[in-house]
Each structure stands twice: as structure tokens, then as C-alpha cells.
Amino acid sequence: MLRVYGIKNCDTVKKTLKFLDQEKTDYDFIDFKKQVPTKEEILNWKKVFGDWPVNKRGRTFKSVAEDFEAASDSEKIKIIQEKTSTIRRPITTDGKSFCFGHDEAFLKKLV
């Protein structure tokens, strides 16, 4: 079963969910506003992504960028958990492979 992490009102998340719905694909949606990602999830995404899973071009990240860049790893995790809108989204996974953002080619491989 696919898991899609994101925020319901995000346009990129909406595109991914619409695609999965059109393909009649079952998925679990984890809304960052209702379920804050765990430290382990964030660290796993960092490992997969090769960097912190944040959208550095996003408005929310820009508002905390200076604090984030000066923070220790544990402080960065806390910032991400407190400001979930900083997370690059959606994050889609089948448990083995991950996609950050909307990528129909990746999704087609999973459906």
C-alpha cells in the first residue's frame, strides 16, 4: 500500500492524490497538519533525499531559514516538526522507493 505524506491544501499534493484516485490506486494519506512526522521518519527522508526534506524555496522555510541553517540536527528536526509546511511534499512511498514532489513517471511504476 502506498503512503502519501503531505498537506491537503497543497497543489502538488492534490495533483498526486488526483492521479492516484484516477488510477484507482489504494493509498494512505498522512496529513502533516494532523500527524506530525516522527524523528525517525524525518531522518529516514534525510537519508533517502540526501539532505533535509525541506522545500528551501517555500515561503514557510524562508521564514525560518536563518534559524534552520544555524541549528543542530536535533534542533532542525524540532523546527521541521513545528513547521511542517517546511517539508517538501508530497512524499510518496511504497516502503522501498520514495518520491519527493509530484512525479507521474514514478507513480506510474507503482500503480
Which of the following is catalytic: 2, 4, 5, 10?
A: 10
Beta strands at 98-100 and 27-31: parallel, antiparallel or unpaired: unpaired
Which amino acid would we find at residue 18? Answer: K
Residue 44: other Cβ atoms inside 10 A: 15
Q: Is 10 tagged catalytic?
A: yes
Residues assigned a catalytic role? 10
